[in-house]
Amino acid sequence: MDQTAVVRTQLTVPLRLSDGFTATARVFTFQGLADGGEHLALGLGDRSVAPVASADGPPPLVRLHSECLTGDVFGSQRCDCGPQLREAVERIDERGGYVLYLRQEGRGIGLYAKLDAYALQDAGLDTYDANVALGYAKDLRDYTVAAQMLHALGETRVDLLSNNPDKACQLDRLGVTVASRVPTAVHVSPANHRYLSAKAQRGAHTLDLSSSPVERPGA
């Protein structure tokens, strides 16, 4: 990773999530990110005041969360993105660390293409084959900017909140040591069971669907 990013602005933002959970976040913007995107870091817990270098202390808990308008904002149950973001904010607020909100909608293919992929999934393809049928790779996400953001915040060692081993592999390769990978809960519902099964079987996500009760609407 040759390009260096720096913090552009930082400010305190009080959060109130849709279920009423509240937290205080220190929101960071950056300049010099490799893809020129408007990615955000939300410092929570002890990182809600200012960056705290962790070389001599426990590493921060970090979630690399790819933007999902349908799940994060509108509560779509076709994926588990909204519940994962909600879980991450609370767990990181308790522990101290960052949510990196990465503008990589649809595993990097964009919002409209993701909706096109949904239509193909309704016709029988799984989430990976749908992307390929549209002319994309199964997963286009690149975490170079995430590593740049962490370096800009003074963090070179993290505990990673994720079920996706590719995130840890990419961060390690980009100069951020993943001290441990902390699994998220399995947020399975009737609407997303097939999607999560594909992630477990084809994307190597550590998801044990056999022992996870399916969440029923309204439960």
Considering only CA atoms, give the Rg of the chain.
Answer: 17
- pLDDT bin (cut points 50, 70, 90) of residue 175 is very high
Q: Which residue out of 107, 139, 159, 166 is catalytically annotated?
A: 139
Burial 61-71 (b: 16+ CB within 10 A, else e): bbbbbbbbebb
Known catalytic residue at 35: no
Q: At what angle do helices 165-173 and 144-152 cross, to 10 degrees?
A: 60
3-state secondary structure of 86: helix
Average pLDDT score over the chain: 88
Q: List the one residue out of 88, 215, 93, 112 whose CA is nearest residue 164.
A: 88
Question: What pLDDT does residue 219 have?
Answer: 33
Residue 218 has pLDDT above 50, yes or no: no
Q: Which residue out of 122, 141, 142, 194 is catalytically annotated?
A: 141
65-88 mean pLDDT: 94
**CA–CA dist 77, 142 (Å, integer):** 25
Known catalytic residue at 103: no
29-54 mean pLDDT: 89
**CA–CA dist 103, 68 (Å, integer):** 8
Question: What pLDDT does residue 50 have?
Answer: 67
Of the ranges 101-110, 135-144, 208-217, which one carries the lowest mean pLDDT score? 208-217
- According to DSSP, the residues that pair with 64 across neighbouring strands are 100
Task: Please indicate, yes or no, whether the overall pTM of this predicted structure exceeds 0.85.
Answer: yes
Tokens of 152: 């800009």
Tell me the pLDDT tens digit for each residue of 87-129: 999 999 999 999 999 999 999 999 999 999 999 999 999 888 9
Q: Would you give the DSSP letter of residue 78? A: S
- pLDDT bin (cut points 50, 70, 90) of residue 84 is very high
What is the secondary structure of 157-194 as a DSSP string? EEEEE-S-HHHHHHHHHTT-EEEEEEPPP----TTTHH
